[in-house]
Structure 1
């Protein structure tokens, strides 16, 4: 899903990929992140789903380990991983890493009671079964932010939500001083 990036830039990257990629372009202002997420999930036809922002990254083993978790834990509708925050600043027109910090250091599980007080998972860290939408619904398109938290709470109320502790497998980029398309929703929409 490309929900606001320059279509020509995205198409150039996709054309250079060594594998087949299908891109759906959504015009800016066509409904926001939740519309883009729901459109992408509906179009994917895959067994598993993850929302991957263009500035976030994974450890090379993220997919193999999260898919293996869901394959061996059929009662879990989703799984999250240990996540590291990567702080970036813009310098001379480029984003430069300026620091790292653990996101919820020492976390060992995802539970409904803990999630009711604060969101302990970010989209880059969660792989879930696409079929869960049949049980809990779609991303709430009336929300400008925290749609992931709302969705995770609905999952936790009905199914298991695994957690893989240990080394970080997801890297969540934060750009606290960024504005516009480069900004993180948690800062820009707060």
Structure 2
């Protein structure tokens, strides 16, 4: 499995609240193996593709995979969820979805593996290679250029990142230009 791995098949997922489940094991393995999308249910740290579990995706991953033509999503009643509809659902679930999604897209297009960063108190945990291969070296928080961040906020985020041996990065999306600027913080001990 590598950052460049791709697959042309389309997986089928079912929308349950704010998660999407791919029940077919072969499709789950293929999707996971093509870029570390989602997490196999009940497998905390999968080693390779030898898991026998459904795959659970967060909404942002699902939106991305639908946009790339790699996933079809249906409701519990079987009705198909369109790309427009999944984006509407995402906008309800994520604060400032469009800015966060632009950062997600930018990181994915640069070859990084992007996971939700909620357990670290940030928007994304970002891997260079993938879960099980390396630890996520970056914690990314999305800020608009007009947002205010206090010195205390930066120190808190930096201390957390340092404690878990990661670099804290601010991602600043330029919405009109469809690009993202990044500011990384390194912490030194005196």
What is the TM-score normalised by the length of structure 2? 0.25
What is the TM-score normalised by the length of structure 1? 0.25
Q: Which has the higher contact order (CA 8 A, sep 6+)?
A: 1
